[in-house]
Structure 1
Amino acid sequence: MAGVPVKCGTIVSFCFVLYAVYYRKNDLGDVRLSPVKDHLLYLESENKVGEGKLQPKVALGYGACHDLFVNATSLLDHKELKGNPEHFNEISNKEEFLKSFAYFFKHGAAAERFVSNGKLYDELIEQALKLPDSRWSIGGNAPLMAKRFYIEGWKVLFAAKMSNKLKKYIPKDIQIVGGEENEEVRDDVHMILEYKTDETFGTLKAPRANRYIVHNDENNPLLSSLEKFDEHLPGFGPNLLVISGLQMMDNYPFKVGDGKDLRAERLDLVKKQILSQPLSTLTHFEMASYVDLELLKHLTTKILPFVDSVGMNEQELTNLYSVLEYGEVSVVADSNPRVATALDQMRKTFLLIRRQNELYESKRQLTRIHVHTLAYQAIMTVKNSNWKRTEAAAAKASLTAHRYVCNSQDIALEKCKLLLDDSFSTTTDNDNTSRVFFEPTKPVSCWDEEINGENVDICVAPVLICTEAQLTAGAGDNISAAGLVLQVEK
C-alpha cells in the first residue's frame, strides 16, 4: 500500500528519499503534478456511486440563505482600520467589523460572525451591491452539500425554509422540506468577503485565499425547518443523515426566560431527531466556525456523542479539540498545519468524542473523522465499520477541492501546485520517528494504526491546490460531501 509509514534510517526509507528527489521540481515546474493528477483521477474513475436500487439516499439539515459575494479589499478601506486587528465574538459596530476582518485576513483563516447591529449590516449590504463584481448565489451548508451529493449521483432530501426565488438555485430532483406551501419567506442573507493569496489590506498580507462571512440571520438560528424535516425522514429512509448549519446559533440573541433556554431546546430536538434514526442510517456532523463557548459545550453533549462521523477544516479541528480537552475556544490556528499536527489532533479528538459516547451511553460510536486543509485531505475510519473506500474518498475530496475552487471540472496542471512535502511525520511525538514518503504515482498514503485498542485506517491525499482561486466560500461543504459520497453504500 502506498505511503505506509517507515522508520527513518532504514534502507527502505533511503530508497524512498531517492525516489522523492527524482520527483522534485525542475526547470519545467513540479514534475509530481501529472502523476498525482493521473492517479487521483484513476481512483475516482474506479469507484462509483451506486445506481438504481443501489442508489444511496442522504437527508441534510438545516437552513439556507442568499450569499452575496464580494471582494473584501474592494469593499473595505484599510485606512478606516484604527488600531490593531482584533477578534470579537460578534460584531456590533464598524470598528469591530474592520478589526475582526483584519484579524482573520492576516492569518488567512476562514471565519463567520454574527452582526448584532442590523442597521450596520444593511448598510454593508447596500455598499456591497454597488460594487460591479458583487454576485448572488445560494448559501448554507445543507444546500451546498445537497447539491454536491446530487451531482455525484445520490438521492437527496434537505431541510430549509426558503423563498421560491431561492429554490430556483436547487435542482428540481432534490426534495426540499421545511416551509408551508405558498408560505411567504424572507430569506436570510450572508455576505461573503473573499480574498486571494498575497492580497493586501494596508500593511497586512493574506497567506492564503479564504473568506470572511458575516450575517444577521433571523430564520436559520431557530432551525425553523426542523419539524417538517422530522415528518419526512421516516418515509425517505436515508442511508446518511447530515447535521449542519448549527453555527447560525452562534452568538444569536435567543430569548431566555421562565427558566427556558430556547437554543438548548432546539438542540435537544436535533438530538431527538438523530436518535430516531435506525443505527443502519449513518450520521455525520459538519463542524463550522464557532466562538460561543456555551453553544460549543451544547454540541459536545447533545450532538457529538450521537453521530458516527465529523467533518471539518484545520481551524475547526483545533477549536473542537480545544473545547473537548480544555473547555476553551481556539479562535484562530495555523492555516496550513503540518500533517503530523493535524493527525495528532484527530487522534486526540477521536478519543475525546469516544469518551463522550460512553459518558452519554450512546448506541453510536464515532467511527470517522475527515479533516480538509489547503494542502491535504486526511480521513480516519475505524476498521470494519460501515464506512467504505477510504482511499478513494480521500482522492475524491482532493479532486473536488481543486475543481470547486477553480470553478472548473477540468484540472489544468498550469493552475495546480502541491504544498505537501516529499515526506511527512505521522506524529509530533519525538519517540515515534515513523515517516510517510510521498509517491507521486501513488499519492494517497494509507496505513493502519491502533488508537486505544481500536484499529483504524488513516488516508492522507495531497490537494492539487488551485492557484487561480475563483471560489472559496462553500469549498468546505463541497469537499466534505465529496469525501462522504463514496464511503456510504446502500
Structure 2
Amino acid sequence: MAGAPVKLGSILSFCIVLYAVFYRKDNFGDVRLSPVKQHLLDLERENKVGAGVNQPRVALGYGACHDLFVNATSLLNAKDLKGSPEHFNEISSKEEFLKSFTYFFKHGAAAERFMSNSKLYDELVEESLKLPDSRWAIGGNAPLMAKRFYIEGWKVLLGAKMSNKLKKLIPNDIQIVGSEDTEVRDDVHMILEYKTDETFGPYKSPRANRYIMHNDENNPLLTSLEMLGEHLPKFNPNLLVISGLQMMDNFPFKQDGRDLRAERLDLVKKQILSQPLNTLSHFEMASYVDLELLLHLTTKILPYVDSVGMNEQELSNLNSVLEHGEVIVVADSNPRVATALDQLRKTFQLIRQKNKEHGSKRKLTRIHVHTLAYQAILTVKGSEWKRTKAAAAKASLTAHRYVCNSQNIELDKCKLLLDDSFSTTTEDNNNSRVFFEPTKPVACWDEVLDNDEVEICVAPVLICTEAQLTAGAGDNISAAGLVLQVEK
C-alpha cells in the first residue's frame, strides 16, 4: 500500500469491510495467504538482478566455519540443569552451558556464545556426532550471504580462510581469497536447533530458533582481512559487506597490554574507507554481549557504512548500546511493528549522529530489520538504494524458502502473524495506522528523519510452519534484501 499512513477515524468502516472480507478463515485456513503469496511473487518476478555488463559485484568478509547442526533437546538432558536459567557472556563449564542455553530457549531467542573451555567443547562435538540426525554444512555469515548473492545472480568475492574440504561446499564461480595455506584447520560451530513449542524440562520454546556455540581460533582474528584487501581494487565491487565480527565477542585478545581486537577493527575501518564512495558498504549485525566490542563498533564501523541489517533482538541491543551504553541480552522475539519501527527510527538517527561526530564522508541511508512476522526496510529517498518495496518482498519470500528448505511456497506450510492493521509508532498522539491489504501486502510510506525524506516498507512474512533450517536464515534474508537494491 503506497502513500502515507491512513488516518484511523476516516476509515473505520473500511476497516470493518476489510476485516470481514480478508481476515476470516475458511476450511483451508487464513484466506489472506493466497493473495499475499501471489503478490509477493509478482513483485519478485517484476524485479530482476542485472545481467551481463550490468551484473552487480559484491565482496564479503570475514571468515568461514563448519556448522555442526544438532537437535538441542537430543544432545542436552534437562535433568542436568541445576538451578535457574542464567545468562553468561562466555561459557566455561557444562553447568554454565545448560543454564545459558535454557535462558534463551525459554524466550525463543537466538544467541551466539564463545566457549573458552576447549576440552569441553571438543567433548560436546564428539557427543553431537553420535546423534543420528546431526549434520555438517558450511557456516559463517560471509559464506552464507555469499552463496545467496551468487544464487540471485551476483558476481562474488569472498574473504575467508578455509580448508580445501570446506571450499568444496562453495560454488566454483565464487572467488575465495584469504589463505594460501592448504593445511587450514577449520573452525567448528555447534548449531543447537529447536522447534516451536518444544519442551526442555519445565520450559517451552515460543518459536523455532537456534543457540550457536563456538571455540574459534581463526575467525576472531579476521585472518582473511588483508588478502581480501589486496583483491578489492581489481574486483571493484558495487557493494562491500562486513560481517562475522561477533566472533570477536569475549575472545581473549589482550596480551602484554596490547589490544589486538581494537587494532584489527581499525584495519576493518581502513578497508571500508579505502573503497570509493560509489561502492556501497553494508554491516551485518549479530548477537553481541561484549560491551567493549559493541562500543568499538559504534566508533570504528557504524559511522562508515551505508547500510545495516539485523533481526529484532539485535535491533534492541544496538539501540540500547547507542542510546544508553548498555547491552540488552534478550528482547521480545516477536515485537509489534510499531515498537520495531520506533527502534529503527531511533537507531537511524543515532547512527547519523555518529556519522557527524566522526566526520564520515558516508551517511547511513539504509536499515533492514527482519523478524519472524515481517520485514522492515528504511531507505533514504534519492540515495543509491533502489526498489525498496521489491526488496522487502524478496526478503520475505527468502525467509520462508530458506526456513522450509524449499523453493516452492506451499500454503499449508504458511501462516501470517501480521494483523489486519498496524500502528506506525507507539507514540500516544499517533492516530495513523497502515491497513494490511492481502492484494497489496507490502506497505510503503514516506517520512522525514534527520532532515532527509525516507521511505519505509513493511512486508509480511509467510512464516514456515514446518521449520527445517534456522541457523543462517538471517544471513540469507539480509542478502536477499540487498540483491535488488543495488543497480549498476
Name the TM tier (shorter chain). over 0.9
Shift of 1:451: 1.4
CA distance in structure 2 between the partners assigned to 1:215 and 1:129 by the alignment = 16
* Greater alpha carbon shift after TM alignment, 374-383 vs 16-25: 16-25
CA distance in structure 2 between the partners assigned to 1:14 and 1:430 by the alignment = 23
Q: Which residue of 1 aligns with 2:185?
A: 186
Q: Which residue of 2 aligns with 1:383?
A: 381
Q: Which residue of 1 aligns with 2:110?
A: 110
Q: Secondary structure at the match of 2:25?
A: coil
Q: Secondary structure at the match of 1:107?
A: coil
CA distance in structure 2 between the partners assigned to 1:215 and 1:31 by the alignment = 43
Q: 1:373-412 maps to which residues of 2 (within 5 A)? A: 373-412=371-410
Matched to 2:103, the amino acid is: Y
Q: Secondary structure at the match of 1:101?
A: helix
Q: Which residue of 2 aligns with 1:347?
A: 345
8 Å contact 1:91–1:116 — kept in the other structure?
yes
CA distance in structure 2 between the partners assigned to 1:76 and 1:104 by the alignment = 14
2:90 paired with 1:90: yes
Shift of 1:20: 3.0
CA distance in structure 2 between the partners assigned to 1:142 and 1:211 by the alignment = 18
Q: Which residue of 2 aligns with 1:45?
A: 45
Q: 1:419-430 maps to which residues of 2 (within 5 A)? A: 419-430=417-428
Matched to 2:89, the amino acid is: N
Matched to 1:422, the amino acid is: D
Identity %: 80
Shift of 1:433: 1.4
8 Å contact 1:190–1:216 — kept in the other structure?
yes
Q: Deviations over 1:437-461 (max 9, x none)?
A: 0000000000000113211000000
CA distance in structure 1 between the partners assigned to 2:92 and 2:82 by the alignment = 16
Shift of 1:3: 7.2
Q: Secondary structure at the match of 1:234?
A: helix
Shift of 1:13: 4.2
CA distance in structure 2 between the partners assigned to 1:245 and 1:272 by the alignment = 17
Matched to 1:85, the amino acid is: P
Q: Deviating runs (4+, > 3 A) in structure 1?
A: 1-4
Shift of 1:295: 0.2
CA distance in structure 1 between the partners assigned to 2:470 and 2:215 by the alignment = 21
Q: Secondary structure at the match of 2:149?
A: helix
Q: Which residue of 1 aligns with 2:258?
A: 260
Q: Which residue of 1 aligns with 2:311?
A: 313
Q: Which residue of 1 aligns with 2:18?
A: 19
CA distance in structure 2 between the partners assigned to 1:215 and 1:195 by the alignment = 18
Matched to 1:72, the amino acid is: A
Shift of 1:107: 0.3
Q: Secondary structure at the match of 2:429?
A: coil
CA distance in structure 2 between the partners assigned to 1:423 and 1:19 by the alignment = 10
Q: How large is the Cα RMSD of the aligned pairs?
A: 0.8
Q: Which residue of 2 aligns with 1:470?
A: 468
2:247 paired with 1:248: yes
8 Å contact 1:3–1:436 — kept in the other structure?
no
CA distance in structure 2 between the partners assigned to 1:93 and 1:17 by the alignment = 56
Matched to 1:83, the amino acid is: G
CA distance in structure 1 between the partners assigned to 2:275 and 2:61 by the alignment = 14
Q: Which residue of 2 aligns with 1:55?
A: 55
8 Å contact 1:3–1:439 — kept in the other structure?
no
8 Å contact 1:198–1:207 — kept in the other structure?
yes
8 Å contact 1:89–1:113 — kept in the other structure?
yes
8 Å contact 2:444–2:455 — kept in the other structure?
yes
Ranges in structure 1 where 5+ consecutive residues have no aligned partner: none
Shift of 1:184: 1.0
Match of 2:354 among 352, 356, 374: 356
8 Å contact 2:3–2:446 — kept in the other structure?
no
8 Å contact 1:111–1:289 — kept in the other structure?
yes
8 Å contact 1:58–1:238 — kept in the other structure?
yes
Matched to 2:149, the amino acid is: F
Shift of 1:462: 0.1
8 Å contact 1:49–1:153 — kept in the other structure?
yes
Matched to 2:290, the amino acid is: D
CA distance in structure 2 between the partners assigned to 1:378 and 1:395 by the alignment = 10
Q: 1:66-465 maps to which residues of 2 (within 5 A)? A: 66-180=66-180, 182-257=181-256, 259-465=257-463
CA distance in structure 1 between the partners assigned to 2:135 and 2:25 by the alignment = 40
Shift of 1:256: 2.7
TM-score, normalised to structure 1's length?
A: 0.98
* Greater alpha carbon shift after TM alignment, 45-54 vs 448-457: 448-457
Give the total of aligned pairs: 487
Q: Deviations over 1:250-294 (max 9, x none)?
A: 00011332x421000000000000000000000000000000000
Distance change in 2, residues 1:248/1:437 (3 Å)? same
Q: Which residue of 2 aligns with 1:485?
A: 483
Matched to 2:232, the amino acid is: L
Q: Secondary structure at the match of 1:469?
A: coil
CA distance in structure 1 between the partners assigned to 2:218 and 2:481 by the alignment = 29
* Greater alpha carbon shift after TM alignment, 169-178 vs 26-35: 26-35
8 Å contact 1:20–1:439 — kept in the other structure?
no
Ranges in structure 2 where 5+ consecutive residues have no aligned partner: none
CA distance in structure 2 between the partners assigned to 1:14 and 1:79 by the alignment = 55
8 Å contact 2:164–2:182 — kept in the other structure?
no
Matched to 1:331, the amino acid is: V
8 Å contact 2:221–2:248 — kept in the other structure?
yes
Q: Deviations over 1:67-116 (max 9, x none)?
A: 00000000000000011100000000000000000000000000000000
CA distance in structure 2 between the partners assigned to 1:361 and 1:254 by the alignment = 29
